[in-house]
């Protein structure tokens, strides 16, 4: 993750300019949140560029969601290519991310994950706060929602099967996570991203 973050521009002005150009080098490295809409996007989103004063950047989708932003329904941040940190290289944070992506926190807790990494739970939480601005549990929840949304978009599987495949303990917990993040249930996302029209910066509203 550190190698990815080092590629991000060192100050807000340069980062915003790269976002304005839709620089693909930032895709999966930072996420762009817009204060006036409550939505966060991939930096390559084709929506109209918001004013700089309304923009803030986050190092992970989980961090943007933790701050109260909802994913854009046009650019689908859950489909952003992860930087190499998520592919399992050797640092502690990278190893933890690889294990979480593989479902380590779907079946066990943060304490067990930290044990697999050979460190304490508090130290693991500090590392995640420093590098991702989110906790291991928040990253895991973000990944579950992302998996579920892809399955809702791309398959006709029943919601109960999607919940299990995405790592939720029940469809009820998945529904609660979607309502908390998007303001609507999982069923509202059947083919939703391909059919949505209008301004993608607008905050999703409940049906």
CA 99 to chain CA centroid, nearest Å: 16
On whether the CB atoms of residues 84 and 4 are closer than 8 A, the answer is yes
Burial class (CB in 10 A: 0-12, 13-18, 19+), 173: middle
> What is the number of residues in the chain?
207
Q: What share of the chain is helix, strand, coil (3-state, %, to 5)?
A: 55, 5, 35
- Annotated catalytic residues are 41, 45, 72, 75
Q: How far apart are CA 29 and CA 120, in angstroms?
A: 27
Which residues contact residue 134 at a Cβ distance below 8 angstroms, ignoring those fewer than 6 apart? Answer: 60, 62, 63, 65, 66, 128, 142
């Amino acid at each position: 993750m550190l190698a990815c973050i080092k590629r991000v521009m060192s100050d807000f002005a340069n980062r915003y300019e790269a976002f304005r150009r839709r620089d693909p080098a930032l895709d999966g490295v930072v996420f762009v949140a817009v204060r006036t809409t409550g939505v966060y996007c991939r930096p390559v989103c084709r929506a109209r560029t918001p004013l700089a004063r309304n923009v803030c950047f986050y190092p992970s989708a989980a961090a943007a969601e933790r701050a109260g932003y909802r994913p854009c329904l046009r650019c689908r941040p859950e489909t952003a290519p992860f930087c190499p940190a998520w592919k399992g290289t050797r640092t502690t944070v990278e190893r933890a991310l690889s294990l979480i992506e593989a479902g380590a926190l779907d079946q066990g807790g943060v304490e067990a994950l930290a044990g697999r990494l050979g460190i304490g739970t508090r130290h693991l939480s500090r590392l995640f706060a420093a590098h991702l601005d989110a906790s291991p549990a928040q990253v895991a929840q973000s990944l579950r929602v992302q998996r579920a949304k892809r399955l809702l978009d791309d398959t006709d599987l029943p919601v109960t099967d999607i919940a299990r495949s995405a790592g939720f303990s029940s469809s009820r917990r998945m529904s609660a996570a979607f309502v908390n993040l998007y303001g609507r249930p999982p069923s509202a996302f059947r083919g939703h991203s391909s059919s949505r029209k209008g301004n993608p910066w607008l905050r999703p509203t409940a049906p």
